[in-house]
Amino acid sequence: MSRCRVVAPDVVRLPLSDGDFLDVKKTLNAGEYRKMIYDQYKDAPPGEKITLELRKVEMVKLLAYIVGWSFVGFDGQPLPYRPDEPDDIRAATIDSLDQDTYRELNQAVDAHEARDAAAREAQKKTRTTEPSLSVTS
């Protein structure tokens, strides 16, 4: 019997320092994963070699995973972050945070991504597979 190969749009809440939290996608779907990978590279004219743009790597991962948080602004009101906004607006909001928070976000998302990958690997090992059929003439 087939298994469902569609990624559920589940959200996980990650605890941060000072009682704050970060809401992230549990697992990226194929399109979100591809976008995250492709967005890390510099645009290159056709025929030229593409190169990884290191300054984009961390931000692209944050943009791929983060769906919300508990942060507040200067006025004590929630600091808006909407995953449906354009990447540049969300990146500007993340860039407005202090450096320690930026590092904490990256550490939290990296650890979450590692846990998710380990869970998916463990799940693969428990799946039963049918032996492949060979076609002979």
Categorize the per-residue pLDDT at 117 as very low, low, confident or very high, splitting at 50, 70 and 90.
confident
Question: What is the average pLDDT across 108-135?
Answer: 78
Tokens representing residue 80 in the block: 């808006």
pLDDT (0 to 100) of residue 16: 97
pLDDT of 45-77, one tens digit each? 888 888 888 888 999 999 999 999 999 999 999
**Domain coordinates in residue numbering, the chain:** 11-125
Task: Please tell me the pTM assigned to this model.
Answer: 0.83
